[in-house]
Structure 1
Amino acid sequence: MITFCIQQDILFITKVWDEIASSYALQHQCLLKILCVVCGKPKLDLAHYDSVGSGRDSTSINHIGLRAMILCRQHNSLQHEMGLISFCKMYQVKPIKLSKYDVIKLGLMNKKQVEENN
């Protein structure tokens, strides 16, 4: 039911967002719909859990297999202040390991780039 609501852009009350934090599958749905995994705000930033390196161009790296989550500006800033491990423990979120499908769906890589990285 929650997956259907996420896919159909149906908004939730706070209690449902608390439930999402405990489900890797629901967090993955939030990633694909670009919803903050903590509060549900739409159309936000991809927060890399695995370091992409300082000064690297995120458009030129292979994202497949990296772990990431979608966070709103407020939670992304908080995550930088607290540190990733503390943030993930506090909100009980687990970053999603990006698949080939995920990186294409999120626009991080195109099909040609994915094929070249096989």
Structure 2
Amino acid sequence: MPREYTGHVLGYEGDKLIIDIGQSEIDWQKLLRYNNGQFPQIELVFDDQQRRSLLQNKHMHAVIGDIAAWQGEDPGEVKMWFKWAFANAFELDDIKTSHMTMEQASAFISTLITFAVKHGVPLTQYQPLDMLSPGDIEAFEYQCLIHKRCVICGKNPSDMHHLDTVGAHGGNREHIDHLRLRAVQLCREHHQMAGQTGVDTFLERYHLTGIKIDERIAKGHKLNMR
């Protein structure tokens, strides 16, 4: 169960606030057990547009929720583990997501998504192509090519789909130099859809740009680089 929520202030009277946190399934009994029968203390952080945004916070918890459901773990425990791993990787002191800068929050979300793509976590609460910024979608596309997960639905097996016409680069796909050609990773269903709708329409529908194949991608897909 998450132990951190995002809400909106509905009103105030003196030092008392009325806050809508948009949650109807808070396990109050569990919270009381955690706090020896007392109502828990909370930390109130107002969004000053410098720390992570409310939208970023929503995205964090959506990905964490998907990872927790896949692992069969408590989302709060999953969040604590990723916070520790993130702080350790970036040589930070123990960090609170509510105190992250927007840049740190973006990197944290990227870490969560990379884990999800690598391990095939079904993303149901979090829809990367609808929720990510354009720059972050490109990073997501790259991770899907590296880990061979369909960029639309996350399925594996999947195949690389070339966006540039191979004939314009020497013809035979087995003998051309694939470096710098654009590609996306797609399952059979979405591969067929891309072929039927056309490249430009397909890319626009799913907010994709395609990734230029580099050496790491080429090696992973056993493509020619000469």
TM range (shorter): 0.7 to 0.9
Task: Return the alpha-carbon distance in structure 2 between the equivalents of residues 21 and 51 of structure 1.
Answer: 28
- After TM superposition, where is structure 1 displaced by more than 3 Å over at least 4 residues in a row? 17-22
Tell me the C-alpha RMSD between the 2 structures: 2.2
Decide which moves more: 5-14 or 78-87: 5-14
Deviation of the 1:102 alpha carbon:
1.3
Q: Structure 1 regions of 5+ residues with no counterpart?
A: none
- Equivalent position to 1:16, from 123, 127, 135: 127
Deviation of the 1:21 alpha carbon:
8.4
Contact 1:68–1:95 (CA under 8 A) maintained in structure 2: yes
Contact 1:21–1:37 (CA under 8 A) maintained in structure 2: no
Query: What is the count of residue pairs matched by the alignment?
Result: 111
Change (3 A) 1:84 1:44: same
The corresponding residue for 1:66 is 181
Change (3 A) 1:63 1:6: same
- Equivalent position to 1:40, from 139, 144, 154: 154
Q: Deviations over 1:44-74 (max 9, x none)?
A: 1211111102993312110000000111111
Contact 1:36–1:72 (CA under 8 A) maintained in structure 2: yes
Task: Return the alpha-carbon distance in structure 1 between the equivalents of residues 115 and 165 of structure 2.
Answer: 32
Task: Return the alpha-carbon distance in structure 2 between the equivalents of residues 10 and 47 of structure 1.
Answer: 22
- Equivalent position to 2:194, from 74, 79, 84: 79
The corresponding residue for 2:115 is 4
- Equivalent position to 1:97, from 212, 215, 219: 212
Deviation of the 1:42 alpha carbon:
0.9
Rg comparison, structure with higher value: 2
Change (3 A) 1:32 1:102: same
Q: Deviations over 1:8-52 (max 9, x none)?
A: 332321633433684110111011111111111112121111110
Higher relative contact order (CA 8 A, sep 6+): 1
Does residue 25 of the first structure (1) align with residue 139 of the second (2)? Answer: yes
Task: Return the alpha-carbon distance in structure 1 between the equivalents of residues 175 and 125 of structure 2.
Answer: 37
